[in-house]
Structure 1
Amino acid sequence: MNQLFTFILLLLNLSGTFTKYIYVDQKMGWLQAQSYCRQNYTDLAPVSTKKDVNKLKQLSSNVNHSIWIGLRNSTMDQIFTCILLLMRLFGTFTKYVHVNDRMNWPQAQSYCQQHYTDLAPVSNDKDDNKLQQLSSNVNHCIWIGLVRNCSNRTQWLWSGGGVASTFFWRPGEPNDFNGNEDGGCVWNKMWNDEKLQNQKTFFCYGAVVVKEKKTWEEALEYCREHHDDLASVASETEMLLIQKELSKHNTTEHVWIGLRFLAGDWLLVDGQEMDYEAWGEEGKPSCSHAKIKCGALQVTGGYKAVWDANDCEERLHFICY
């Protein structure tokens, strides 16, 4: 990956002990950045602990692009391990869209299904934090894809499919006031149940099927240039939503997703945790072959899909958000 990024370096004091990181706001290739750091300081920055990660976050809180660190896999011809790791640490995924038009819950659901994929599911606290970032200036509760199961009012479902299992209710919620609060909304990272007919702005979830055949790395680059990222599949509901999009298209038998084998394990390159996995019958691959390190969905008729490890140089369709 011949790209230019700014970078973070490591500075040692005279005794050779760790002192601090320095962010260099000049764009260079990885080798140029390495040479610059060794000539003017000590080296490109290593990342060993969570404390290191937090320092890097503080240094680059206002940066909206990838930043080189001192990570390189010498067995790979192209240096992009460091990019993927840093994207994971900083969690830059933006699969959500805040629609600033007020609608009731069924209208919002219809709008999202027509213009994006569906009303937004929330799988974990990282998702909840992202919604907060997207709506920091909003002072009302915003619809998400959470709806009460009409046949079991103690159970909540996601609009895109699947049973909700992680919740961020405000204290005292859900209270089902007057027995008709069947929709879920979020404000300041806390959820309320409200009447479906209430008018609110809302969050949509959007997945985009790209029917251009590219290698995994080319697909990643395309998604980050034209959309936001190569799509992850972080929950059962997100799998159902992506399958829904795939059902609208005739695609290659496999389609690339943002799943990559790095540093001895599989990770989602948009920074989400691997709380959900959907490997096929053979289970999670150990990746003994050097090239079989990129994740794809194995699609059958556009309706069913499981994860599979593929040759990163294979040219496939892919999914962005």
Structure 2
Amino acid sequence: MLHLVIWLLASGCVTLCSPIHREYHLISEAKTWAQAQSYCRNSYTDLASVSNRDDMRRLVEIAAASGEGRSIWIGLKKGGVVGSWMWSVGEAQTTDYTNWASPPDSSYNCGGMRGDGKWLSASCEAVLPFVCQEGEGSSKMHVVLEEKSWRSAQGYCRQNYHDLASVSSQTENQALQQMLNESGPSTTTFWIGLFRDQWTWSDQSNSSFRYWESDQPNHDGECVLFDTFYETLWDRACGSSFPFYCYSAVTWRYVVRLELKSDSSLNLGDSATSEAILAQIQKRFEGARVQWRVQPDGTIFKKKE
């Protein structure tokens, strides 16, 4: 029998590596998007990716401190193929959970939910009621019966709440379905935050965060500028020259001491045992990479007297 006790002074240590944190750098020299990408990859990690509004605010603060102009390249560029379905709140659809009524129509790029909980793809210009989410990761939703296009609904939710609703599990889907049943007939479709587009990040980040100006993208080009005044995205010709944001990836490391209590039959020197224990620890620190910290004598554990 093995008992795992975390946070006690103990006989073993694990190192936790947090998810990557981006440290942004504003380069004032004007370059084309491709030149900026090459510069960032040579000197830092890549052109800047943006995952949420906090990232945008950091970009604004950096520009304000430097006195740089308002139009600055970031790492978003139009690709050749319509991508996978994503969530407006800024997260790619990373879970396996979906609830499509039928395979989504390849000609439609926005998604809604019926009162029966099923998802449907539809033209983004269709006007429908919609559901807003109060905060990132929040389970509190607000049904808005006023009918709008998907982009208009997104703008309304971002101005008054946080974003269009996102769903990542059957439990969340059922909770939202119940709200919709209370708001109208089961045949009514409501916009949620599902969408897909052709824009991809230079570093292949799966961030679905888009914060376009209201009339953007308007097919001015296939590369993206961040406007630090309006805090919105604009498409521009990739051959135009602008300053740009790079980022360097920073990973935080933490050492956690732990104590293992086991019966005498457990061989803590066996690699299979240490790997099994590490797998248990990994579950407790989901989102971080966990590894053993090997002691100078080559062992992981020391018996506590």
Range into which the TM-score falls when normalised by the shorter chain = 0.3 to 0.5
- Which of structures 1 and 2 has the larger relative contact order (alpha carbons within 8 angstroms, sep 6+)? 2
Highest Rg: 1 or 2? 2
Give me the TM-score of the superposition, normalised by structure 2: 0.40
